[in-house]
């Protein structure tokens, strides 16, 4: 993989903000009256998204994280998903919202959802910021998706390429061999 690349803006910070407003409204409506919603972020890519999303939730919220390995430093998905950091909160009988940065092949989320389901949550839903439908290998039910994007490698707003560019306030597509 080339070390030299440029980032072409794809989704602006304002577009992200407006979309999160809409998603948060829908999530607030969906979970209205919940005793507690455990929001489970998938590290590390979801950390910016989850921070913006939970601040718009008008519900009793608890925040927890899971880390699952997927890409390493490559852009090819490994089908083998390992849990590197498990949940701290008990979720049995709880409403759970899994927050993911990107659903690509779907393997990561499928694995995580199967694991969480064994803890017998009351409701288990997914909110993904981005989805690449053309890349899907296993079916995933994400009740909420921010943006559907084409098959491009993206960075920014928490999402990295080899640990870089997480701090970009917008989402951009990586152009290899650029500048
Ligand atoms: P999946 O298991 O193929 O669905 O992979 C999902 C994970 O791969 C996401 O949580 C991301 O961490 C990573 N990923 C997928 N596409 C991209 C991308 O375009 N940029 C950066 N990371 C990505
Ligand atoms: Mg991820």
Domains in the chain, start-ordered, CATH in brackets?
A: 12-152 (3.40.50.2020)
Q: Which of 95, 101, 104, 160 is catalytic?
A: 104
CB of 46 closer than 6 angstroms to any ligand 1 atom = no
Task: Choose the residue to mutate in 84, 159, 164, 172 for probing ligand 1, maximizing ligand atoms within 8 Å of C-beta.
Answer: 159
Ligand 2: distance of its center to the CA of 22 in Å? Answer: 22
CA angle 49/64/18 to nearest 5° reads 20
pLDDT score of 139? 93
Give average pLDDT by consecutive 10-residue segment, the chain, 179 residues.
85 98 98 98 98 98 93 55 91 98 95 96 98 95 97 98 97 85
pLDDT score of 57? 98
Q: At what angle do helices 13-30 and 47-54 cross, to 10 degrees?
A: 60
pLDDT score of 73? 45
Q: Give the β-pairing of 61-69 and 82-85.
A: antiparallel
Q: Is 52 a catalytic residue?
A: no
Ligand 1: distance of its center to the CA of 32 in Å? Answer: 31
By three-state DSSP, how is residue 26 classified?
helix
Ligand 1: distance of its center to the CA of 172 in Å? Answer: 14
pLDDT score of 81? 86
pLDDT score of 80? 77
């Amino acid at each position: 993989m080339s070390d030299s690349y440029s980032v072409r803006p794809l989704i602006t910070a304002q577009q992200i903000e407006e979309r999160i407003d809409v998603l948060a409204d829908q999530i607030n409506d969906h979970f209205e009256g919940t005793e507690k919603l455990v929001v489970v972020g998938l590290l590390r890519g979801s950390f910016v998204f989850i921070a913006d999303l939970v601040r718009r939730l008008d519900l009793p919220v608890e925040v927890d994280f899971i880390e699952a390995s997927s890409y390493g430093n490559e852009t090819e998905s490994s089908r083998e998903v390992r849990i590197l950091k498990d949940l701290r909160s008990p979720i049995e009988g709880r409403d759970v919202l899994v927050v993911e940065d990107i659903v690509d092949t779907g393997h990561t989320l499928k694995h995580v959802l199967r694991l969480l389901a064994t803890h017998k949550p009351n409701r288990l839903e997914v909110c993904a910021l981005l989805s690449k439908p053309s890349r899907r290998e296993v079916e995933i039910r994400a009740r909420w998706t921010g943006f559907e994007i084409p098959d491009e490698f993206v960075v920014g707003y928490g999402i990295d390429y080899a640990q870089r560019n997480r701090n970009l306030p917008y989402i951009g597509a990586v152009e290899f061999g650029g500048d």
